[in-house]
Amino acid sequence: MASSRFAAGAKQRLMQEMQQLEKEKWVNIDLHNGNIFRWRIGLIVVNPGSAYNGGYFRAEMTFTEEYPFQPPTFRFLVPIYHPNIYPDGKLCISILHSPGEDETSGEHATERWTPLQGVESVLRSILLLLDDPEINSPANVDASVMYRDDRDAYNKKAKEIVKKSKNDIPEGFEMPTSLEPPPPPKPADDDAAFWAESDEELDFGGSDTGDDEEMAEFDENGEEDGSDDDDA
Residues belonging to the active site: 92
Burial 33-59 (b: 16+ CB within 10 A, else e): eeebbebbbbbbbbbeebbbbbbbbbb
- Secondary element (H or E) of residue 121: helix 119-131
- Cα–Cα distance for residue pair 84/133, rounded to 1 Å: 6
- Secondary element (H or E) of residue 163: helix 151-165
Q: For residue 90, what is the DSSP state?
A: B
* Residue 162, number of CB atoms within 10 A of its CB: 19
* Residue 193, number of CB atoms within 10 A of its CB: 11
